[in-house]
Structure 1
Amino acid sequence: MTKNEAHEADIAAIKEIVATVEHVQNNELVEEFVGLFREDAIWTTGHGKRLFGRDTIAAFTRKVLPGAMSETTVTFEVEHVLFLRPDVAAVKVRQVSRSGGDSYVGTPMYVVTKEDGRWLITAAQNTIVVDEE
């Protein structure tokens, strides 16, 4: 595999993580969601709740995800991937949540790391967009 092919494969794998986040959230699949995170991951929710470690992320997710998507759908689109190193990338995502006739836009930032050949979420920060231009 050439260097360019490897790079494109990594981008595809990173986009697949984001697609999986969308799928597991829409289908309320808690364990699959938690499995996307590195053991020592950090995550800040769109409302500013700071979570440290997969166990804490799991406990929070088990409380909030079941039932949360009964009248809501969310889509995620990778807007930009910046490789900080070949095994570390910052991923900017556009998130749109729809509930009834309302919708809001979020702008998550994921830092993903390649661990034993698999990309995992290592740090994530979600932010609600107040006024999109």
Structure 2
Amino acid sequence: MTVSPSDAPRPDIDRLVELVATVESTQRAEDADGFLALFHDDAVWVTGGGVRLVGKEAIAAFTRSVLPGAMVGVTVDYVVDHVRFLTPDVALTGVDQEYRPQDGSPSSRGLPSYVWVRETDGRWLLAVGQNTAVPT
């Protein structure tokens, strides 16, 4: 994993990696509420299918319509490849994502980018997400 700047605070890096792991675990568990708890109210999310969702309400409606049942026969892994602090309170995580069907069919990959903002209470929330599929 690369980090920029190289002297970024380790506790912040660790927390962002934990949050990406929560994205992974909530997706695997099809836990829409847990997934949505990660988002800022004014977040913007672009789905792997290229649909832009603006605001947590739109993200919630979409998530609740697609997440239940989405992981049947599939598992997914997320690995943080890059963390870039744009400011001390705004960070980007670049993620390598792999979906592996349990039936042995070929895996598919994604390269999501997530922009996180630190709230005044210290919590990091997902403000922007772009879920980009990697062509086979």
TM-score normalised by the chain length of structure 1: 0.92
| Residue matched to 2:10 | 8
| Residue matched to 1:119 | 124
Farther off after superposition, 81-90 or 6-15: 6-15
**Structure 2 counterpart of 1:104, which letter?**
S
- Cα deviation digits, residues 15-64 of structure 1 (max 9, x gap): 01100000000000000000100000000011101101111101100000
Structure 1 outlier segments of 4+, above 3 Å: none
| Residue matched to 1:59 | 61
Q: CA deviation at 1:130?
A: 1.2
Q: CA deviation at 1:90?
A: 1.1
TM-score normalised by the chain length of structure 2: 0.90
Q: Distance in 2 between matches of 1:63 and 1:44?
A: 15
In the alignment, does 2:29 pair up with 1:24? no
Task: Calculate percent identity across the aligned residue pairs.
Answer: 51
Give the root-mean-square deviation of aligned CA atoms. 1.5
Structure 2: 5+ residue stretches without partners? 1-5
More helix by share: 1
- Shift of the 108–6 alpha-carbon distance from structure 1 to 2, 3 Å rule, reads closer
Q: CA deviation at 1:5?
A: 9.3
Structure 1: 5+ residue stretches without partners? none
Farther off after superposition, 99-108 or 56-65: 99-108
